[in-house]
């Protein structure tokens, strides 16, 4: 599966967003195989962070002047939040940039495979927990909720997944939806 996903992403042309009014940020979308199924790793943000308190997201955050690239931002932030070391991450591709409407970030998502099992170290100042969701659950259209909301006189489609009490919505759900559409057109999620 890893090779198939890597090939799909290698041939994909990422669509970037360039807007000087948006703050650059990056996330890592960690994938791993568990019990012969592909899983996606998520974090739940703490109530101590400045924005998106308590929300489910991918590990990542805002770019710092010391970051050499947005990939470096995603890897640095992931290690700070989860303890997942850069040397244990295999980047397989990149998805389209995504905006957060309420906080003004542009997010560059990087897709990676990680080892399983892994001894994570939760930084409780930034996140409260780490959990995973089988990709097959996320690829099942019956588990995707869709709604339309007006924002500044424009209609925006929003997506939402609910898994074992966790609500995945907003930019994270939009990024996840693109990942699924690219990698799993036939809803295959076994390793």
Using one digit for the tens of pLDDT, what is the confidence trace for 13-54?
A: 999 999 999 999 999 999 999 999 999 999 999 888 666 667
pTM over 0.75: yes
Q: Which domains, ranges and CATH numbers included, belong to the chain?
A: 2-183 (3.90.79.10)
Q: Which residues pair with 84 in a beta bridge?
A: none
Which pair of structure tokens corresponds to residue 129? 């927990």
Which pair of structure tokens corresponds to residue 38? 């592909």
Q: What pLDDT score does 74 carry?
A: 98
Q: What pLDDT score does 25 carry?
A: 97
Q: What pLDDT score does 102 carry?
A: 79
Closest CA relative to residue 59, chosen from 17, 101, 25, 23: 25
Residues of the chain with pLDDT under 50: none
Q: What pLDDT score does 100 carry?
A: 87
Yes or no: say if 41 and 30 are a contact pair by the CB < 8 Å rule.
Answer: yes
H, E, C per residue of 36-66: CEEEEEEEEECCCCCCCCCCEECCEEECCCC
């Amino acid at each position: 599966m890893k090779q198939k996903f890597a090939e799909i992403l290698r041939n994909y042309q990422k669509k970037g967003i360039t807007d000087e009014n948006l703050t650059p940020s990056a996330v890592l979308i960690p994938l791993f195989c568990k019990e012969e199924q592909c899983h996606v790793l998520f974090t739940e943000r703490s109530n101590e962070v400045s924005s998106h308190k308590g929300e489910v997201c991918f590990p990542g955050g805002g770019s710092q002047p010391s970051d050499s690239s947005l990939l470096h931002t995603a890897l640095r932030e992931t290690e700070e939040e989860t303890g997942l070391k850069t040397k244990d991450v295999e980047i397989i591709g990149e998805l389209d940039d995504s905006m957060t409407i309420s906080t003004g970030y542009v997010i560059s998502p990087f897709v990676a495979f990680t080892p399983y099992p892994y001894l994570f170290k939760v930084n409780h100042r930034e996140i409260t927990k780490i959990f995973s969701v089988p990709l097959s659950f996320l690829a099942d259209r019956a588990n995707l909720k869709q709604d339309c909301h007006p924002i500044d006189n424009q209609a925006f489609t929003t997506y939402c997944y609910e898994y074992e009490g966790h609500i995945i919505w907003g930019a994270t759900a939009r990024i996840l939806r693109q990942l699924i559409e690219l990698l799993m057109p036939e809803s295959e999620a076994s390793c």
